[in-house]
Amino acid sequence: MALTPGLGGAFSWLGIIGLGLASIAGASNAEPADVVFRNGRIYALDDVSSVASALAVKGGIISALGADADTEPFIGVDTQVIDLHGRMLMPGLIDSHMHVLPGGLALLNCDMNYQPVDVNQLLSHIQGCIDGDGEKAKTDWLEVVNLDYPSLVTKSGEVNKRDLDKLQTERPIVIRSSDYHTVLVNSRALEISNITAATPDPPGGKIERLSGGQEPSGVLQDAGRDLVNPPPPTEAVRLEACRAALRLLRQAGITTFQEAVAGPDHHVLFSQLRGSDELTARAYFDFSIDPPESMEGVQALVSSTLAAIIRMQDTSIIGPKPTLKWQAIKGFLDGVITYPARTAAVVDPYWNPVNGSETSDKWAPDPSTMNQPYWSQEILNATLEGLFLAGIDAQLHVDGDLAVRYGLNAAQAFREKYPDRKGDFKLGLAHEELSHQDDWARFAELGVDPIMSFQWAQLSSFYIPSTFSSLGDYRKGNLQAHRRIEEAGRPIVYGSDWPIDPLDEFLALKVAVTRTGDPTNPNSPASFGPPYDGIFPGDPISRESALRAITINGARFLRAEAAIGSLEVGKMADLIVLERNYFEVPEEEIGRQRVLLTMVGGEVVFATDNAQSEFGVTPKFPNLSQTDGQLNRRAMGGFDRRDLSREGVAAVSILRRRGQCPHKHHV
């Protein structure tokens, strides 16, 4: 074996030799393995960043790791030997913040697929969805998902119900922005939902009004979204959505996920999939909670939350077969920093254009734009204290720097009150799109995990042109501060937040390493050319740091590092084989990666058609192209969006099945 070049010594001879000696020492008692991978570049991502060329799997567990020769004693008559032909093998991906059920429902919906469209393109696509459904759904609700709302506003100005009312339909229509904070509805949807000029703004939300009056415009922000309630999908449709989502996850190489907003419905659905042996990723669920109205309600909230989690938690030891783990809660402290929503809680005011025009080159702070977190500090501290003492971990949505500070303050309050319980809890703060320099070192000091979505550190319509102006130049260096938090002592944990963005984990890793998108990747805003093909403010992190964020760091946050997250003897055989070596391709090509094979607990759950031939494997589930071309046709660019092109967007107008997304970014 040779030392991997260009990695600054991260992958060392010491690690390679250590693996080899360990394997040889146990070889005399070796049992024949079920599978042996040989002739590869195997990155263990263990504590010493070891690299090997061979790996053996027995009973779903890694039984040997080292040089090709070290695995010879593990090859028996029935052992399947897979020649990797020099390809890279690594631990399976761990996505610590995603929304699998909503993502699956989105796969079955009429999908705008995050494309920057104007109002005419929007209406054209929706009309295609309506026409594709025919007469049978003439009056049913139509839900449209994954709209790039900031881009729509930038291209067409204010869009409201009057635009949607031009569609040739009697159906109520609800369009969900990809940030899940804004929806657009037509007049029929407002009528059915009893939203009138007399309807007040709900707590934590806003009903936008037509200019010069109180008439609802059809734009609903944050909690205003909940005023519109299409009939929920049936259990059969939700189950189909979970299957579709798991299919996409294994195709993306995700072997463990954390559903960041979950409730009993998730447990029912995923328990069915586990019972039918269709659960192809290790599932962790964050039980969603809202703040009580006062301190008097804290104890009741803690008690009811604990009772619910105990009913659903699988307490068994992690083994080869995926299980359902319920060990944490999810709460929302604020919304988003993006303009025009600006529902995130920030330390300093947002800026507004001096002359009222977004194209103005002069913006100034506006104190009226300040938002407080959805939880008071006192109630947050008390709630987390009760949960931590009961053994429940937490993940909090914090997008603005004031919300980040509230989360850190809660951790500090617990540390100070219980100085002897340092290892008793896990607190993850999700997103941190904007954080304050005074708080970066506090993550390490308090043992709080930053769960960040790398793909947001690329230029996009969510930042250009108005969000940057709304934040002011002095805060640009505090956006997506992955490296600053890491340099201050706390490693980053990765969470895609899918379906807020397309599920493209290696594009996200590319963005982390370069702070730029990929003009050849249709999932990247850079593919639309200037101005999105530039460099995002801030500093990148290393390739290894980025990869650890989506593997072993995620495992540590989930308290599962003894079983998953790295490739070590005795750990679960959760692994993926890549088309190209992540550590060796040029930086600009990191996001053009493809997973060839995904293994979970020793089972091959996905392999491309070519990989099946090259490696001689048959995956547990057939590939999409072999069984269900209709799923491909429902989505712009195909099921995994790999075929998406700007030219093809206008031609794709296939109806996806109706669904409801329970994702919440408010109280």
Residue 396, strand partner residues: 331, 429
The tokens for 420 are 């002897």
Paired sense of beta strands 142-147 and 61-66, if any:
unpaired
> For position 111, what pLDDT does the model report?
82
> For position 637, what pLDDT does the model report?
46
Closest CA to 179 of 428, 405, 467, 407: 467
Q: Are 95 and 550 in contact (CB under 8 A)?
A: yes
24, 52, 66, 71, 74 from 21: Cα distances, Å:
5, 12, 8, 12, 15
Neighbours of 266 (CB within 10 A): 24
At the second CATH level, the architecture of 100-233+642-649 is: Roll (3.10)
Closest CA to 310 of 349, 354, 264, 357: 264
Q: Are 172 and 192 in contact (CB under 8 A)?
A: yes
Beta strands in 32-170 (DSSP E): 35-38, 41-43, 51-52, 54-58, 61-66, 80-83, 88-91, 93-98, 110-111, 142-147
> For position 29, what pLDDT does the model report?
67
The tokens for 220 are 């609903």
Question: What's the CATH superfamily of 235-557?
Answer: Metal-dependent hydrolases (3.20.20.140)
Neighbours of 422 (CB within 10 A): 10
**Helices and strands (H, E) in the chain, number of each type:** 21, 26
Domains 100-233+642-649 and 235-557 share a fold: no
> For position 23, what pLDDT does the model report?
44
Beta strands in 442-520 (DSSP E): 449-452, 493-494
Q: What are the strands of the beta sheet with 324-332, ordered from one edge?
A: 93-98, 254-262, 282-288, 324-332, 393-398, 427-431, 449-452, 493-494
Alpha-carbon gap, residue 602 to 73, rounded angstroms? 19
> For position 424, what pLDDT does the model report?
80
Neighbours of 75 (CB within 10 A): 17
Closest CA to 255 of 599, 639, 607: 599
List for the chain the helix, strand, coil content (%; round to 5).
Answer: 35, 20, 45
Domain 13-86+567-621 -> CATH class: mainly beta
Displacement of CA 506 from its chain's centroid (Å): 12
Mean pLDDT by 10 residues, the chain (667 residues): 31 35 48 97 97 98 96 96 98 98 86 86 90 77 89 93 96 89 95 96 94 94 92 90 95 98 97 98 98 97 98 96 98 94 96 84 93 97 97 98 98 95 89 98 98 97 92 96 98 95 95 97 90 96 98 98 98 98 97 97 97 96 60 45 39 26 31
Sign for the pseudo-dihedral over CA of 590, 629, 245, 90: negative
> For position 150, what pLDDT does the model report?
87
Alpha-carbon gap, residue 222 to 368, rounded angstroms? 18
**Longest Cα separation, the chain:** 84
> For position 645, what pLDDT does the model report?
40
Q: What is the SS3 assignment for 486?
A: helix
The tokens for 568 are 């070590």
- Each domain of the chain, given as residue ranges in start order, spans 13-86+567-621, 100-233+642-649, 235-557
> For position 439, what pLDDT does the model report?
98
Q: Are 225 and 251 in contact (CB under 8 A)?
A: no
